[in-house]
Amino acid sequence: MTAKQTKRSWRMRVKRGARDLCWLTVFVLISSTTVDWWRSRDIDTSEVPVASMRLLDGRQQDLVAMSQHEPVLVYVWATWCGVCRFVTPSVDWLSGHAQVVSIALRSGSNKHIAGYLAHHGYDFPVVNDQSGALSNAFAVKVTPTVMVVEQGEITSITTGFTTPFGLWLRLVL
């Protein structure tokens, strides 16, 4: 094989790899959109089912009031959730740049959740949903679930793994 043939062969492999990567990206986007739609189809997006929630520190948070001027990211997670271990650092980072309220689903006592947050160095507002009643009101069935609330309505829902860029895009789009 000549140098020219080797170079052409290499270019063909790169082109084929790029094409395959594009098709894989399209497949993943379509699949994740379909899964998000399927998992969130029972969530009523016309209004926030629970406007006011008590944070671990005792303060009240009113999602409807918070969402009037800028969107609020609502993050439903659990200390026992494997995927949440990858998403929670992104939410923590985003909480320094946007409004975030998180709901810890069936994760134990306030003291346990506070210890978990301190151990990992997380500093975002948390509501303890020890019984799961709050998550049921939102019709959340999967952790993690991320919702964006604007003007008192849920405008975006995603479940499972997401990236910092994905979270940010949901807030700005």
pLDDT in tens, 113-153: 999 999 999 999 999 999 999 999 998 888 999 999 999 99
Nearest C-alpha neighbor of 152 from the set 60, 49, 53, 39:
49
- What distance in Å separates the CA atoms of residue 78 and residue 144, rounded to the nearest whole number? 7
| pTM for this entry | 0.79
Least confident of 19-33, 104-118, 159-173: 19-33
Q: Is 47 or 43 the better-scoring residue by pLDDT?
A: 47
d(CA 37, CA 45): 12
pLDDT of 7 above 80: no
Q: pLDDT for 56-88, tens place per residue?
A: 999 999 999 999 999 999 999 999 999 999 999
Mean pLDDT, the chain, rounded, equals 88
Can you tell me whether residue 109 is helix, strand or coil? coil
Could you tell me if 68 and 99 are in contact, meaning their C-beta atoms sit under 8 angstroms apart?
no
Tokens of 130: 């020890």
**pLDDT value, residue 130:** 96
DSSP code for 79: T
74, 155 in Cβ contact below 8 A?
Answer: no
Q: How many CB atoms lie within 10 A of CB 23?
A: 10
CA dist., res. 58 & res. 21, Å (int): 48
Counting Cα atoms < 13 Å in the Cβ hemisphere of 48 gives 27
Identify the residue with better confidence: 5 or 83.
83
